[in-house]
Structure 1
Amino acid sequence: MSTATRSARFFGHVTAFAPGRVTLTLQVGAMQEDGRHETAGVAMAISLGNDVTATRRDDGEIMVTVNDDSAVAVDHEDLELGESNIVWRAAHLLREHLGLDPEHIGVDLELTLKIPLSGGLGGQAANAAAVLVACAALWEAGVSRQELADLGARLDDDVPLAIMGGAAVSVGPEQSLSPILTRCTLHGVIVPASVTITSEEVYELLDYLRGTESVNAREELGIDTELMQSLSRGDAEVLSLMMHNDLQAPVLVLVPEVNSLLDLGMDEGALCGMVSGSGPATVFITRDAEDAVHLAGRIAERTGIAAIPMHGPVQGARLR
């Protein structure tokens, strides 16, 4: 009997951790007929992540709470934790997939948040991934990691990476993942966002800027082989020269102070600074772990923002 099974059977609860992610490159094509944009990108799972503790209920209810020990400030009055939340939907989806009795099989889900809820760092996807892994153990489902990743893809495009971990290429509107084999670790710094913007706002502004020719439209999508090779061998200096995010331009329009932050990071020795995903959180790549700690300290000193050293790629969602 595994440790997780013993915990679920004897104590009625299990805890799972799932990593956030940073985008290392992201190309955005035109909007498709279904309203989504075709994309091509490379992302990696990072050491910053969230925990979810799942506890049995026998009344069929799925209840979600946030632990007061979370490192992320949460306004409980504004945070919707009901059926529209991805955490609730992840538990509901797995229960339905397993054919469990919704009248009697329920779960309490307690989140301990380290990743900001928004900002382009995959925080919501990490929550969903941790729920799927924790509930699968709690309910002794015996499902494979790939099966959980496939379920997670129905919730959010980023969930499979949070479950599988590592680094991966995603291409197309469906953003199917192709793992990148890596032998080394990259180090850097995450600077959380001080404001919230939605991915819908960012994509809409990108389309507008391209329509006014303020930003060039991208005719073709593709990931440079050299970028993937530099990631695979952990060559931070080469990788930093090739990182790019098509969504950075609209983010800088919506949140102009991010531009100053990027300049500050480069002034303090980062190899590269970039908006992660749809932002507005930023990621800086450094030469090594020591430089990451130094950079985080300097950014905190100069801005008052609690910058976070991180590394990756890391393994995917796992039981504590």
Structure 2
Amino acid sequence: MVVGKSAGLFGGAPANVRVRAPGKINVSFRVGPLREDGYHSVASVYLAVSLYEEVTATVSEEPGTVVTVNGQGSLNLPVESIPLDATNLAARASALLAELSDHSTGLLLDITKRVPVAGGMGGGSADAAATLLACDALWNSGFSRDELAKMAAELGADVPFALIGGTAVGMGVGEQLTPAISKTPLHWVLVTSAYGLSTPEVYRALDELRLREGSEPTAPPEIDPRILGAMRSGDAQALAELLHNDLQAAALELAPDLAGILQAGTEAGALASIVSGSGPTVAFLAESEEHAQALAGQLTADGLTATAVHGPVHGARIVTDYIA
């Protein structure tokens, strides 16, 4: 979407701001026991990847926030399922910042979706992170990244990571972030589905599965330090042996067709495969950029919707603002 130049409201502040924020893969995701607050404790290794949401925030003379959504690319994005009212996570982000800003205005939020919808890659969280950054610039609020990250944590466990990007360890419910060093790119192929999975439903399925198996955990989970070592060195072969997602079995119960997708990637030569977060997006680890491109081509030829990505990449970032 191209946003035209228009006059600023507050001493040269932009009248519109465009921000990109990345989706993520949970390279490792371990789920602990249910907490008293109704959430599960988790231990996650987040990796921001080169599939970006884009949010354009524009000053409106009308009060409130109007949200529009469109999809780009060929990743089976069911954008018609996304709410456009106050329950939309980006709209909630703008409302939160408006309460704290001295210069908030009516707002138009145009969201371009590239991250799978309800796909386990944090697309809605990326929208919220992008909105926080865009509105902060739009309204000259002057909040620091740390202050925005605290606001982000109020919106959801994945929102702070979409703001900072890179690689990080997430504890608590995922919102307690510790950045990790990981500069060498890792290459992946994502296979998306035409449907989404509800994260709360996947967690419920996990609880039921553990109850049937008598395998409920009793202590908060921990991170295997070998994962961080493999990511720090960019050693895809070593990382392939360490990918783990406690939610994968539950996602497979709700969407049995994912088993065939996982098998297809193995047969096509992926180093390893994992359901991303709560699914249904499946991530295949590749040896190199060339391997990822070849793998994506093979899976596409097999009739799947596949795209090659890499990570780590930066978090939410302003890509265009127009100042009068």
Q: Same fold (TM over 0.5)?
A: yes
- Give the residue type in structure 1 aligned to 2:262: L
For 1:222 and 1:69, locate their aligned partners in 2 and report how far apart those are by CA, in whole Å.
Answer: 37
SS at the partner of 2:241? helix
Mapping for residues 221-236 of structure 1, pairs under 5 Å:
221-236=221-236
Counterpart selection for 1:25 from 14, 28, 38: 28
Q: Is contact 1:7-1:13 (8 Å) kept?
A: no
Q: Is contact 2:78-2:194 (8 Å) kept?
A: no
- For residue 317 of structure 1, what is the aligned residue in structure 2? 316
The answer to whether the aligner puts 1:217 opposite 2:216 as a matched pair is yes
Equivalenced residue count is 310
- For residue 85 of structure 2, what is the aligned residue in structure 1? 82
- For residue 192 of structure 1, what is the aligned residue in structure 2? 192
Counterpart selection for 2:68 from 65, 77, 101: 65
- For residue 13 of structure 1, what is the aligned residue in structure 2? 16
For 1:297 and 1:217, locate their aligned partners in 2 and report how far apart those are by CA, in whole Å.
Answer: 40
- For residue 257 of structure 1, what is the aligned residue in structure 2? 257
For 2:57 and 2:263, locate their aligned partners in 1 and report how far apart those are by CA, in whole Å.
Answer: 42
Cα displacement string for residues 140-161 of structure 1 (whole angstroms, at most 9, x for unaligned residues): 2222122111111111111111
- For residue 115 of structure 1, what is the aligned residue in structure 2? 115
SS at the partner of 1:204? helix
The answer to whether the aligner puts 1:92 opposite 2:95 as a matched pair is yes
Q: Is contact 1:14-1:53 (8 Å) kept?
A: yes
For 1:179 and 1:6, locate their aligned partners in 2 and report how far apart those are by CA, in whole Å.
Answer: 38
Q: Is contact 1:40-1:171 (8 Å) kept?
A: yes
SS at the partner of 1:83? coil
- Give the residue type in structure 2 aligned to 1:34: D
- Give the residue type in structure 2 aligned to 1:161: F
Q: CA deviation at 1:164?
A: 0.4
- For residue 322 of structure 2, what is the aligned residue in structure 1? none
Q: Is contact 1:190-1:307 (8 Å) kept?
A: yes
- For residue 38 of structure 1, what is the aligned residue in structure 2? 41
TM-score normalised by the chain length of structure 2: 0.90
The CA RMSD over aligned residues, in Å, is 2.0
Rate the CA distance shift 1:11–1:136 in 2: closer, same or farther, 3 A.
Answer: closer
SS at the partner of 1:297? helix
For 2:82 and 2:163, locate their aligned partners in 1 and report how far apart those are by CA, in whole Å.
Answer: 24
Rate the CA distance shift 1:79–1:99 in 2: closer, same or farther, 3 A.
Answer: same
Q: Is contact 1:273-1:285 (8 Å) kept?
A: yes
Q: CA deviation at 1:10?
A: 7.5
Deviates more, 1:222-231 or 1:171-180: 171-180
Q: CA deviation at 1:219?
A: 4.2
Mapping for residues 130-145 of structure 1, pairs under 5 Å:
130-145=130-145
Q: Is contact 1:39-1:175 (8 Å) kept?
A: no
Q: Is contact 2:191-2:304 (8 Å) kept?
A: yes
Rate the CA distance shift 1:173–1:24 in 2: closer, same or farther, 3 A.
Answer: same
TM-score normalised by the chain length of structure 1: 0.91
- Give the residue type in structure 2 aligned to 1:196: G
Rate the CA distance shift 1:106–1:254 in 2: closer, same or farther, 3 A.
Answer: same
Rate the CA distance shift 1:68–1:39 in 2: closer, same or farther, 3 A.
Answer: closer
- Give the residue type in structure 2 aligned to 1:40: A
- For residue 308 of structure 1, what is the aligned residue in structure 2? 307
Q: Is contact 2:47-2:312 (8 Å) kept?
A: yes
Gaps of at least 5 residues in structure 2 are 320-324
- Give the residue type in structure 2 aligned to 1:290: E
Q: Is contact 2:69-2:111 (8 Å) kept?
A: yes
- Give the residue type in structure 1 aligned to 2:261: L
Q: CA deviation at 1:68?
A: 6.1
Rate the CA distance shift 1:225–1:174 in 2: closer, same or farther, 3 A.
Answer: closer
For 2:117 and 2:54, locate their aligned partners in 1 and report how far apart those are by CA, in whole Å.
Answer: 13
- Give the residue type in structure 1 aligned to 2:95: H
- For residue 181 of structure 2, what is the aligned residue in structure 1? 181
Q: CA deviation at 1:35?
A: 1.0
Rate the CA distance shift 1:206–1:7 in 2: closer, same or farther, 3 A.
Answer: farther
Q: Is contact 1:187-1:289 (8 Å) kept?
A: yes
For 1:11 and 1:69, locate their aligned partners in 2 and report how far apart those are by CA, in whole Å.
Answer: 26
Q: Is contact 1:133-1:148 (8 Å) kept?
A: yes
Q: Is contact 2:17-2:137 (8 Å) kept?
A: yes
SS at the partner of 1:60? coil
SS at the partner of 2:130? helix
The answer to whether the aligner puts 1:129 opposite 2:129 as a matched pair is yes
For 1:134 and 1:11, locate their aligned partners in 2 and report how far apart those are by CA, in whole Å.
Answer: 10
Q: Is contact 2:77-2:194 (8 Å) kept?
A: no
- For residue 203 of structure 1, what is the aligned residue in structure 2? 203
Rate the CA distance shift 1:292–1:40 in 2: closer, same or farther, 3 A.
Answer: same
Deviates more, 1:28-37 or 1:170-179: 170-179
